[in-house]
Structure formats: C-alpha cells, structure tokens
Amino acid sequence: MISRDDIEAAAQRIAPHVRRTPLWVLRSDELGLPGPGFEVWLKLEQLQRSGSFKARGMFNRLLANPIPAAGVIAASGGNAGIATATAAQALGVPAEIFVPAVISPAKRDRLEQLGARVVVTGAVYAEAFAACQQRQRESGALMTHAYDQAEVLAGAGTLAREIESQAGVPDALLVSVGGGGLAGGIAAWFAGRTRMVALEPERAPTLHAALAAGGPVDVEVSGIAADALGARRIGALAWEVAQRHPMSSLVLRDEDIVDAQRWLWQSLKLAVEPAAALPLAALRSGAWQAQAGQRICLVLCGANVDPASLI
C-alpha cells in the first residue's frame, strides 16, 4: 500500500537528482478547445530529467536500496529504461536494459548515449520483461520495474505533490495509463481530493479491461503508443490504489492522439511522445468534457520523440 508518507519520503530522497518541472496555467481557448471556458494546467513533465516522469521512480528505487556490483537491470519500452540508465549513470553504477523490437530509434539511441548495455528482444514489452527476469536471476543486479514496485509508484507520486505545491488541487486530473505507475502514484497522493481520469489508447487498454473484468487481465498491445504504454496488464500496485481511490477510464483512438501530439508541437512548440498527448486528445476529441470554470490538470508525461516526426 502506497501512502502519502511514502511519497513524502521519496520527495526528500530524490530532490537533489530530479527537476521541479514547470506548470503552465492557460485558458481553454488558448488550447483551441471549444465550449464553456475553463482553466487548463499543463504539467510539463516531459522536461523532467531523462525526458519523462519515470526518472522520479527510478531514482527513488536506486537510492532506497543497496546496489550490487552487477549494477541495475530493467525491461522497458524506452522511458523506464532511459530513466534507469540516467539514474545509474548519475550514481556511477552499470545498467543493462532489455527492450522490445517496437522501441523507437530515438529511445534506443538515448539508452546507448547513457552508457547502458541495450538488449533488444521480443516483440512487445512483456517478452522483453521475461528475458530481463532471467538475466537478473543470473547476474544478481538490482531490478527496476517500469511500474510495479512500491518505490517506483512513490517516486511517481512526487509529481502530484509538486503539482499541489505549485497550483493547488485541480478539479480533475487527466493522466495516461500503461502499467499504471504514474496514475497510481498520483492517486495515492491526492487520495480522492481530485477527480482522476485515466486515459489509454484503444489498442492498449490495461486499466479499462481490468475495470470491466473486475481485476487485472492480459490485453493485446499495439498501436501508436505501444512503446510507452505497452504493458500487457495493469500493475498489481496500481490496481490496489485504484480500488481505494477510484478513477474513471477512457480509451482514445490513435488518430486523436496523433492530432493532439501534433497540435502541441505546432501551436506551443512542445515536443511530446504519443503517450503524453492523451490528456489533450481527450479534450480535443470530446471524449471527456470539462465544465465551465473548472481547473483541469493535464500531465504531459514524456518527450522522448524526434520532433521531425511531428511535422
């Protein structure tokens, strides 16, 4: 069970190593959104160290545990691996990262630049994770999980703590979900004080499927955000948090996600990956609608993308 005390402890532990990212307060019409006016908070976590919110959890995981001589090991669609490699480099320990074949070239290049040993294996994240587990048993390295470890969720929860310190508690918060580490950490911090809206691509609906089935189930993974939101099922810890602090769930079309991603680049010069564009996509497509005068927070969770692909 992840508590606010766990998140407070994580915030103190990782403070010297992560960035306090900006939060922009805009009018809804500044984002080209029709209908009654409301306030939009853009939490620019794509500017976080390593290019995504994942740095919070990975620094917390490494700093909270003794690191063996073999260093650290992770499986990732990209962002968790980049964050693990970033933390390992900063702390002076070796990193080995297992990635699926769907990883973007930009993310693989970044991993190699950070000095990590990169192993490409499997078609999707779950297959890379299985290979990573086998290697961890052989090497004894400290394993970081992309979303299903207590330290990782607590680290992600520091983002919510930071939002509250910057602007207060929003009326609703829209956040992307893959394995659920970010949504779980945020929900654990706000603990029912804001409406949580979990967003997933229609071809990777882990939380949506779990809510329908009454518990975590495997889903097929494909589509535009598969490298970042490519978990096959919702994490056990995130699911536990979702039972204590319920959140609504929406699935979005790939074309709406791409539309929002390109709008952010062309209109605001914010280069984000597809996973980070889901909150704006929900508003632009009309899948979720705010009420007049509300304060809505959109978490832009990652930026490991080639801006040339957004033109």
CATH number for the region 54-144 comes to: 3.40.50.1100
- Other Cβ atoms less than 10 A from the Cβ of 35: the count is 13
CA 95, distance to chain mean position in Å, is 20
Q: Where are the domains of the chain?
A: 4-52+150-310, 54-144
Length of the chain: 311
One-letter amino acid for residue 168 of the chain: G
d(Cα 218, Cα 206) in Å, to the nearest integer?
7
4-52+150-310 folds as Rossmann fold (3.40.50)
DSSP string, 103-121: --HHHHHHHHHTT-EEEE-
Residue 79 to residue 92: CA distance in whole angstroms: 20
Q: Record the pTM.
A: 0.94
pLDDT tens string, the chain, 311 residues long: the values are 899 999 999 999 999 999 999 999 999 999 989 878 999 999 999 999 999 999 999 999 999 999 999 999 999 877 899 999 999 999 999 999 999 888 888 788 889 999 999 999 998 778 898 999 999 999 999 999 999 999 999 999 999 999 999 999 999 999 999 899 999 999 999 999 999 999 999 888 899 999 999 999 988 776 565 555 567 789 999 999 999 999 999 999 999 999 999 999 999 999 998 989 999 999 999 999 999 999 999 999 988 666 666 66
- Tokens 């915030």 belong to which residue? 11
Contact 300, 272 (CB under 8 A): yes
Residue in 244, 253, 276 with CA at minimum distance from that of residue 263: 276
